[in-house]
């Protein structure tokens, strides 16, 4: 299995052996054999191992960021930010080890008491995407380990080296290898052996709607599922908004990370009264950007991560312009870039037909459609009609407008005067509708709900 630099596809980043179906099944069995001892470890022991992993990741931060830049394509600054967030995820998880708490209940009879315990599930499978190859993995792995579960981790086949380095740092930090296993590759049979194994108690997946649907069909019966899928995200810019600021935030949400993030802005609804002014500002923001190698200090955005991504997005842009859309602003390509790189330039589009795929489903790339609206109600109706309702945002100087929008928008995440991308490590993260499995958001203290079961205890403490 080979990974290459998307900015220079002839540059091989790593070659690693792909996991066979037999090896995947063996990894699950080994994790199942190890989980009882790991669950029996004290909270302090698990916390020390998670702190150790955080320390190893922090010490390796510079090299890890460069590896992410080379293997996934994002800019070095964004990669550094991702590594920093990963360190935070493990530090937070070390605290979570002490927060696996139950509840006590009032006595219902004399000499009796009842309470609950939170207990680990067992083997948790973490299947992660290429767009955040280390921080999204940490968001799944670290809380599961904190609660006393063992983990089998499957990185994306696009970014296998990053996944391998993450696991190695965890092992150096004190997380036993038998507690955290890694399987690699894109063999469907190996994937089936992994998620369909009877020992698997939970599967946490981030990725496409199609793979999420396949996981629902193939996961072991009774396995708990946590599926973070696509987001078709829209922003409303009101007539009273700070338009220059809104243009910066909307452009950042649409074009940062080359738009390859489930929280990226696909559509921006703009009050008709300020449509022309805002579109011009947005076009200027796009035109300021330069696409290039992630390790080029002059590059604002990197390439698409794969050739398939580049080809899909190029075809999408071509079909939109052929259908009558107009380019209102576009980034430039840095000089001396590899012509074989997976380049897709951040682009602002107006006049995209309402039924075009750019307006009806997730783009997952740096293409942004500008749409006029007559009022807030029209925008909210359109936002709420989307199938994948992950995140939305409103730009306004009116507290009343912001409040009404927050309450009416039917999305898992709502932002005010901010870009749609970016989230903290402590708040819950999850979408509504087809964007998520819904029951178990990721992130923060709430992450423990997915990786633990509730046990109720009744105790009669009267002496006979």
Helices and strands in the chain: count of H runs, count of E runs: 15, 21
CA gap 352, 205 in Å, rounded: 32
- Residue 383's H or E segment, with its range, is helix 376-384
Contacts with 24 (C-beta within 8 Å, 6 or more apart), sequence order: 152, 183, 190, 191, 193, 194, 197
Residues forming beta bridges with residue 414, ordered by sequence position = 392
Length of the chain equals 464
By annotation, the residues acting in catalysis are: 262
Per the CB < 8 A criterion, the answer to whether 234 and 382 are in contact is yes
Tokens of 424: 């903290």
Largest CA distance in the chain: 86
**φ, ψ (nearest 5 deg) of residue 113:** -145, 160
DSSP label at 273?
G
**φ, ψ (nearest 5 deg) of residue 78:** -65, -40
- 61-78: string of b/e by CB count within 10 Å (b at 16+)? beebbbbbbbbbbbbbeb
Question: How many alpha carbons lie under 13 Å from residue 443 in its C-beta half-sphere?
Answer: 15
| 3-class secondary structure, 219 | coil
């Amino acid at each position: 299995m080979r990974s290459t630099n998307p900015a220079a596809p002839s540059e091989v980043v790593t070659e690693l052996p792909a996991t066979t179906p037999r090896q995947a099944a063996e990894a699950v069995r080994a994790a199942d054999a190890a989980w009882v001892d790991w669950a029996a470890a004290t909270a302090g022991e698990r916390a020390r191992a998670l702190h150790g992993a955080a320390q190893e990741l922090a010490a390796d931060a510079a090299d890890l960021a460069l590896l992410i830049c080379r293997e996934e394509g994002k800019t070095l600054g964004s990669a550094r930010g991702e590594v920093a967030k990963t360190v935070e995820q493990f530090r937070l998880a070390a605290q979570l080890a002490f927060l696996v708490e139950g509840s006590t209940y009032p006595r219902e009879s004399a000499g009796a008491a009842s309470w609950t315990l939170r207990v680990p599930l067992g083997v948790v499978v973490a299947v992660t995407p290429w767009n955040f190859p280390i921080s999204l993995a940490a968001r799944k792995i670290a809380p599961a380990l904190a609660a006393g579960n063992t983990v089998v981790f499957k990185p994306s086949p696009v970014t296998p080296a990053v996944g391998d380095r993450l696991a190695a740092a965890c092992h150096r930090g004190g997380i036993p290898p038998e507690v955290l296993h890694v399987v690699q590759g894109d063999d469907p049979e190996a994937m089936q052996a992994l998620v369909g194994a009877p020992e698997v108690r939970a599967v946490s997946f981030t990725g496409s709607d199609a793979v999420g649907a396949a996981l629902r069909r193939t996961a072991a019966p009774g396995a708990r599922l946590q599926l973070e899928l696509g987001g078709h995200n829209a922003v409303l810019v009101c007539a009273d908004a700070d338009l220059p600021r809104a243009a910066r935030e909307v452009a950042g949400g649409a074009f940062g990370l080359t738009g390859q993030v489930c929280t990226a802005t696909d559509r921006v609804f703009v009050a008709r009264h300020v449509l022309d002014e805002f579109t011009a500002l947005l076009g200027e923001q796009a035109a300021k950007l330069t696409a290039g190698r992630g390790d080029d200090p002059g590059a604002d955005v990197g390439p698409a991560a794969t050739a398939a991504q580049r080809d899909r997005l190029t075809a999408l842009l071509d079909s939109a312009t052929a259908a009558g859309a107009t380019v209102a602003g576009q980034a430039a390509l840095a000089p001396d870039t590899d012509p074989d790189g997976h380049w897709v330039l951040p682009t602002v589009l107006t006049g995209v037909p309402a039924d075009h795929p750019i307006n009806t489903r997730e783009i997952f790339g740096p293409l942004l459609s500008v749409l006029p609206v007559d009022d807030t109600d029209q925008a909210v109706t359109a936002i709420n009609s989307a199938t994948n309702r992950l995140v939305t945002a409103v730009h306004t100087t009116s507290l009343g407008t912001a409040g009404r929008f927050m309450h009416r928008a039917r999305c898992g995440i709502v932002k005010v005067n901010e870009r749609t991308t970016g989230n903290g490590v402590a708040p819950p993260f999850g979408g509504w509708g087809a964007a998520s499995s819904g029951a178990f958001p990721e992130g923060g203290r709430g992450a423990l709900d997915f990786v633990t079961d509730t046990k109720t205890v009744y105790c009669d403490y009267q002496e006979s």
